[in-house]
Amino acid sequence: MQLDPLAVDAGVRLLALATIGSTNSEARRRAQRGERGPLWITAVTQTAGRGRMDRSWISPEGNLYASLLLSDPSSFERAPELAFVAALALRDAVAGEAPALAPQLAFKWPNDLLLAGEKCAGVLIEGDVDANRSAIVVIGIGVNCASHPLATAFPAADLRAHGAETTPLQLFRRLSATMWLRLTQWDRGRGFPAILGDWVAAAGGVGEEITVRNGTGEKHGRFVGLDQSGRLVLELRGGGIEKISAGDVFPFALNGGRAMPSGPG
Ligand code: BTN
């Protein structure tokens, strides 16, 4: 694995591992021992890869697994905005490496990357607070380059099956550059309106009927857009507006409008 020179010049470092439980967990472990980044940790395979909502992330060789450790990237309150920064960096990297696929890439709120309507990459952001009350953030990214899991709650895809032969090595190098560029655009939150604008421009499902699932149940309605802090604005079927901070989005039509089964992905 190699960083793009743009990232190297910005002072970013890289730790490229063969096998690890989870690059996110490793980054958080190192942060507890005093590492402050910016540091990318990559792995060829993960034995305990983790996804959002406590799901596992199956991590065979051939796909990309990478986590960026940042300390004090912004005030603690603004750190969740990194979900959109990371999604854009991920999309930029995939589109840069596989330009023919760019028109088929779209976001599923908050930061899944869809390829022709199926999930090809995901982001897991985790945060801790250090002894000085400053935020430690780990941005974990998994990209299905060569294979994708089957039997997922949301359909999955991989880049190779769509004709893109980009390797984890090539994709990571570009991601290290696009992430730095998007972090610079975000500017500790000052550039968040532009980040949200770019995200919405590439979002899937805006204006459509969706189901949002979280730990407490399901909500159905029309995906109106995002509010200024990135919450999903849902026009409820029964009337009224609800702003959603966390959850999984499914097109309502995906399962005939019935509740989705749970599972990885
Ligand atoms: C999702 O549920 O969509 C997020 C998946 C994030 C997976 C990546 S792979 C690298 C990093 N290490 C992990 O254990 N998870 C993230």
pLDDT at residue number 14: 98
Q: Do 23 and 14 meet the contact criterion of CB atoms below 8 Å apart?
A: no
Mutation probe of ligand 1 site: the residue of 141, 148, 175 with most atoms within 8 A of C-beta: 141
Average pLDDT (137-164) is: 95
Q: Do 235 and 220 meet the contact criterion of CB atoms below 8 Å apart?
A: no
pLDDT at residue number 252: 59
For residue 90, give the nearest of 116, 64, 71 by alpha carbon. 64
DSSP 8-state class, residue 56:
B
Question: Residue 9: CA atoms inside 13 Å, Cβ hemisphere, count?
Answer: 6
Is residue 57 within 6 Å of ligand 1 at its C-beta? yes
Average pLDDT value over all residues in the chain:
91
Task: Report the amino acid identity of residue 139.
Answer: I
Q: How many Å lie between the centroid of ligand 1 and the Cα of residue 142?
A: 5
pLDDT at residue number 256: 41
**Distant-in-sequence, close-in-space partners of 258: CB < 8 Å, separation ≥ 6:** none
Compare 262 and 70 and report the one with higher pLDDT. 70
Model confidence over 71-95: pLDDT tens digits? 999 988 899 999 999 999 999 999 9
Q: How many Å lie between the centroid of ligand 1 and the Cα of residue 135?
A: 20
For residue 162, give the nearest of 112, 110, 94 by alpha carbon. 94
Encoded tokens for 47: 């034995």
Q: Do 70 and 81 meet the contact criterion of CB atoms below 8 Å apart?
A: no
Model confidence over 180-238: pLDDT tens digits? 999 999 999 999 999 999 999 999 889 999 999 887 788 899 999 999 999 999 999 88
Q: Do 92 and 178 meet the contact criterion of CB atoms below 8 Å apart?
A: yes
For CA atoms 174, 16, 56, 212, the dihedral sign is negative
Is residue 51 within 6 Å of ligand 1 at its C-beta? yes
Indicate the range of 44-53, 207-216, 255-264 predicted with least confidence: 255-264
Q: How many Å lie between the centroid of ligand 1 and the Cα of residue 66?
A: 8
Taking only Cα atoms into account, the Rg of the chain, rounded to an integer number of angstroms, comes to 18
